[in-house]
Amino acid sequence: MEHAAGDAPNTIDAADMTRVCAAGTGSLVALGVAAAIACALPFPAFAQDEGGLYIAGYGFSFERAAEQGLARNPPGQRFFVLTLSPNTAALTKAATKSAAAVRKRVAAAGGVLLVCQRDIDSGSIDAATLVPGVVAVRGFPPRGSDAIPPGERYFPGENPDNLPRNNETLRRLRSTCS
Q: What is the pLDDT of residues 17-69, one digit of tens each?
A: 455 444 454 443 333 333 333 333 343 343 457 999 999 998 899 999 999 99
Count of domains forming the chain: 2
CATH code at position 99: 3.40.1260.10
Indicate whether 95 and 18 sit together in one domain. no
Indicate whether 110 and 33 sit together in one domain. no
Indicate whether 16 and 81 sit together in one domain. no
Indicate whether 63 and 85 sit together in one domain. yes
pTM of the predicted structure, to 2 decimals: 0.72
CA dihedral 14, 16, 19, 21 (to 10 degrees): -70
Indicate whether 57 and 104 sit together in one domain. yes
**Helix and strand tally (H, E) in the chain?**
5, 4
Indicate whether 97 and 136 sit together in one domain. yes
The pLDDT assigned to 123 comes to: 96
Give per-residue pLDDT as tens, 33-47: 333 333 333 433 434
Q: Domain of residue 71: give its range.
A: 43-176
Indicate whether 3 and 77 sit together in one domain. no
Indicate whether 17 and 63 sit together in one domain. no
Indicate whether 24 and 53 sit together in one domain. no
The pLDDT assigned to 21 comes to: 46
Indicate whether 49 and 129 sit together in one domain. yes
Whole-angstrom distance, CA of residue 111 vs CA of residue 75: 9
